[in-house]
Amino acid sequence: MKRVFSGVQPTGNIHLGNYLGALKQFVDLQNDYESLFCIVDLHAITVPQDPKKLKENILDVAALYLAVGVDPKKSIVFVQSDVSAHSELGWILTCSSHMGELSRMTQFKAKTANTSNKDSIGTGLFSYPLLMAADILLYDTDVVPVGVDQKQHIELTRDLAIRVNNTVKKTFVVPEGRYIKEGARVMGLDDPTKKMSKSAENQHSRISLLDDDNKIKKSIMKATTDSEGIIRFDIEEKPGISNLLNIYSALTGEPVEDIVKSYDGKGYGDFKKDLVEVTQNSLKPIKERFNEIRHSQELIDILKDGAERADAIARKTMKRVKENFGLGL
Ligand code: TYM
């Protein structure tokens, strides 16, 4: 059976972009692949974290995985730092990487663009994609479901796997990214030229999966559109309404063209009102399940069991990696 791996950072405010770009894919893929879904806490500490808050955020993401429909009977759900091989392989890949390829990562450039003192930029932020590559390669992953913002990191992972296979010994499976058309890049509701993000200051730029109905309504009704007043899909000229159409389509499964047709002659207000309802109805069962499981022993047991199962696979890979690199006894 082919293998799927993906991860989400426990940094709070898990939003519709995370859901439509990644989490929703997890649920579909777990039926056809051996699946591992990870809460990547080691990635979260590339920027300062409050330890208490981090622990809470880890459990939030774990509970959200289950709440959206990840089934622990089908998938391995675990916390990254519970399997020490991630850090170990991360180092080995660091030694197989080049400064130049890491310097070209657009996410690193974006995250550090506003730092005035370049000397203070965290080294972890720079080497972040190597830990991500380790996550993926550790499990001989075939498919990585993510949003398109991760595409460059996936390409780097492939390059590293191919480099090691060619220069050391055939060691790694070369993975492929998987992106869903409508959900791959959900944009900010306030500024549809920027991706929806967990860290944006304006809370109305995103819809978090745990937002209440009022907040959902406010954020959507406030969403930036344009002055033309005609509902049609045009990312370049009409990024706001196109983003909302993508969200509607990704949530309902209805093709964008059909949605556009059904709103012929209607205004943005009508469409937004319906999108509010669609979003509220989509998130309701997720919130209910989240509340049931978030503080349960069941959640802890699932993560412990997941870590054990992931560790067993990771150990096997590390044995092969160390042997091929000539490491250890
Ligand atoms: P993170 O935590 O930023 O985001 C989790 C997932 O959500 C996707 N995503 C989006 N998709 C569509 N529209 C958006 N606006 C949007 N924002 C985020 C991301 O693409 C991601 O799939 N580096 C990763 C975490 C990671 C990982 C891995 C992923 C670490 N190791 C190994 C896959 C495999 C990250 O920061 O995701």
**Active-site residue, from 74, 151, 169, 198:** 198
Cα 168 to averaged position of ligand 1 atoms, centre (Å): 30
pLDDT for res 52? 98
170 a catalytic residue: no
Please tell me the distance from the alpha carbon of residue 111 to that of residue 58, in angstroms, as a whole number. Answer: 22
pLDDT for res 115? 87
pLDDT for res 62? 98
198 a catalytic residue: yes
pLDDT for res 164? 98
Burial of residue 273, with CB atoms counted within 10 A of its CB: 0-12 exposed, 13-18 middle, 19 or more buried: middle
Among protein residues, the one whose CA lies closest to atom 5 of ligand 1:
8
Please tell me the distance from the alpha carbon of residue 179 to that of residue 21, in angstroms, as a whole number. Answer: 7
A 10 A CB-CB count for 114 gives 6
Cα 5 to averaged position of ligand 1 atoms, centre (Å): 12
Whether the Cβ atoms of residue 57 and residue 13 lie closer than 8 Å to each other: no
Cα 21 to averaged position of ligand 1 atoms, centre (Å): 8
Q: Any residues with Cβ below 6 Å from ligand 1, and which? A: 5-9, 17-18, 21-22, 40, 43, 132, 135-136, 144, 146-147, 149-150, 183-186, 195-196
Spans in the chain with pLDDT lower than 70: none
218 a catalytic residue: no
- Of 13, 12, 9, 16, which Cα lies nearest the Cα of 243? 16
pLDDT for res 183? 81
Cα 123 to averaged position of ligand 1 atoms, centre (Å): 20
Please tell me the distance from the alpha carbon of residue 55 to that of residue 39, in angstroms, as a whole number. Answer: 11
What Rg, from alpha-carbon coordinates, does the chain have?
21
Cα 43 to averaged position of ligand 1 atoms, centre (Å): 11
Which of 8, 42, 138 is the best mutation target for the ligand 1 pocket, counting ligand atoms within 8 Å of the beta carbon and taking the most?
8
Residue 153 CA, closest ligand 1 atom number: 23
List, edge to edge, every strand of the sheet that includes 143-145. Answer: 75-79, 34-39, 3-8, 143-145, 176-178
3-state secondary structure (DSSP) of residue 35? strand
Cα 145 to averaged position of ligand 1 atoms, centre (Å): 9
pLDDT for res 111? 87
Whether the Cβ atoms of residue 137 and residue 130 lie closer than 8 Å to each other: no
Among protein residues, the one whose CA lies closest to atom 31 of ligand 1:
132
Among protein residues, the one whose CA lies closest to atom 26 of ligand 1:
7
Please tell me the distance from the alpha carbon of residue 325 to that of residue 268, in angstroms, as a whole number. Answer: 59
**Active-site residue, from 195, 217, 238, 272:** 195
Task: Give this prediction's pTM.
Answer: 0.97
**Active-site residue, from 24, 111, 238, 272:** 111
Among protein residues, the one whose CA lies closest to atom 29 of ligand 1:
7
Amino acid at 151: K
- Of 269, 271, 230, which Cα lies nearest the Cα of 249? 271
pLDDT for res 118? 86
- Of 64, 73, 62, which Cα lies nearest the Cα of 299? 62
